Amino acid sequence: MSFFSFGQSAEIDIVLKDAETRKKVEHKTEDGKKDKYFLLYDGETVSGNVNVTLKNPGKRLEHQGIKMEFIGQIELYYDRGNHHEFVSLVKDLARPGELTQSQTFDFEFTHVEKPYESYTGQNVKLRYFLRATVSRRLNDISKEMDIVVHTLSTYPELNSSIKMEVGIEDCLHIEFEYNKSKYHLKDVIVGKIYFLLVRLKIRHMEIDIIKRETTGTGPNVYHENDTIAKYEIMDGAPVRGESIPIRLFLAGYEMTPTMRDINKKYSVRYYLNLVLIDEEERRYFKQQEITLWRKGDMVKKSMSHQAAIASQRFEGSSSAEKALAQAQAKEQEQ
């Protein structure tokens, strides 16, 4: 729906070229609700039509030009007056003149670079959108359409396990191990906890997944911690020599890939937080960062080449064909 002020005599509608077949995904809006948007990937062409419909057929509409923009921007909530644009493309659809009837204009942005994933957080929002504008002397007529971008990557070559110790001298000695340090968003965290020395009366132990959003720079840095998941390891006292297995499925939780220093504006990191609580309600913590990423083989076959471009950019590989072959092989496995 578009709402225009009094005196405007046209409405604008933006239609993507493959709107009937393109996948839609849910994405959180600023007010916390979820809406569905068209999904695009890095390197993919964005094309379609702009329909300009006259409200009063037969009455001419004078304009100063018609244009289409593709914009990627970051908005920091504490600095709402400034929108930081990292992608800004413009296509002129019509020169200044007049419209005497409703008209459709084609647009195409070829192999558009979309380097960052769409994100709506506590203090920051990164969005991509198309904006069609009919320029007029007094008041422009415009329409925006948000889209969602997912960043894809291939399997990390190096994915070492995590081994850590928790110790309080002469009271507690625990070792815990996770099978790897990098997980895709549908992955399973597999691990084990070993109790080597237990002289504290521990009554509860859990693992939390903590999401930490950092915005700003220098003195204007803001941190927002959010507990995404709680996984109870044990409820009761462990004994020396005991080991407890861990299996934590990530698919059920709402998470994004790890984002580091996005356009020098914000970061989103994830941590595994081991929490022990003794009978006197004292809490002991041990935290370890993990890396989350989005699987590149979830892309459709028709987009395999564009997935390869995205994977190549993320990994810095020397050959897009190699990434393409990997993506196609994984599609066949599924």
Q: Give the rounded percent of residues in the chain with a pLDDT score beyond 90.
A: 52
Looking up residue 235, the CATH number of its domain turns out to be 2.60.40.640
Q: Has residue 331 been placed in a domain?
A: no
In terms of domains, do 221 and 265 share one? yes
What are phi and psi for residue 58, nearest 5 degrees? 95, -20
The confidence score (pLDDT) of residue 324 equals 43
Distance CA 52, CA 93 (A): 11
The confidence score (pLDDT) of residue 238 equals 73
Q: Has residue 120 been placed in a domain?
A: yes
- Asked if 324 and 303 touch (Cβ cutoff 8 Å), the reply is no
Q: Residue 111: which domain range?
A: 10-149
Beta pairing, strands 182-184 & 103-109: unpaired
In terms of domains, do 183 and 267 share one? yes
Over range 74-83, report the average pLDDT: 86
Predicted TM-score (pTM) of the model is 0.80
Residue owning tokens 């934590």: 248
Q: List, in sequence order, every residue forming a beta bridge with 69; answer none if it has no partner.
A: 90, 131
In terms of domains, do 132 and 170 share one? no
C-alpha dihedral, 69 to 70 to 72 to 76, nearest 10°: 30
Is residue 270 over pLDDT 80?
yes
In terms of domains, do 14 and 145 share one? yes
In terms of domains, do 235 and 281 share one? yes
Q: Has residue 321 been placed in a domain?
A: no
In terms of domains, do 61 and 101 share one? yes
In terms of domains, do 142 and 17 share one? yes
Residues ≥6 apart with Cβ < 8 Å to 311:
152, 153, 154, 296, 317, 323, 326, 327
Over range 300-311, report the average pLDDT: 45
Q: Has residue 4 been placed in a domain?
A: no
Which range has highest mean pLDDT (5-14, 134-143, 262-271, 302-311)?
Answer: 262-271
CB atoms inside a 10 Å sphere around CB 48? 21
Tell me the CB-side half-sphere exposure of residue 54, using CA atoms within 13 A. Answer: 14
Structure tokens belonging to residue 100: 């005497």
Q: Has residue 332 been placed in a domain?
A: no
Domain boundary among 278, 293, 308: 293
Residues in the chain: 334
The confidence score (pLDDT) of residue 317 equals 38
In terms of domains, do 140 and 188 share one? no
Over range 284-310, report the average pLDDT: 66
Say how many domains are in the chain.
2
Q: Has residue 51 been placed in a domain?
A: yes
Structure tokens belonging to residue 328: 């196609």
Q: List, in sequence order, every residue forming a beta bridge with 92; answer none if it has no partner.
A: 67
Q: Has residue 324 been placed in a domain?
A: no
In terms of domains, do 166 and 195 share one? yes
Domain boundary among 116, 149, 182: 149
Ranges of H-type helices in the chain: 304-315, 320-333
Is residue 188 over pLDDT 80?
yes
Domain boundary among 293, 310, 328: 293
In terms of domains, do 15 and 140 share one? yes
Q: Where does residue 175 rank: exposed (0-12), middle (13-18), buried (19+ CB within 10 A)?
A: middle
Residue owning tokens 């419209």: 99
In terms of domains, do 76 and 97 share one? yes
- Asked if 86 and 116 touch (Cβ cutoff 8 Å), the reply is yes
Q: Has residue 313 been placed in a domain?
A: no
Over range 91-118, report the average pLDDT: 95
- Asked if 215 and 225 touch (Cβ cutoff 8 Å), the reply is no
Over range 20-45, report the average pLDDT: 92
In terms of domains, do 27 and 62 share one? yes
**Please, which pLDDT band fits residue 215 given cuts at 50, 70 and 90?**
very high
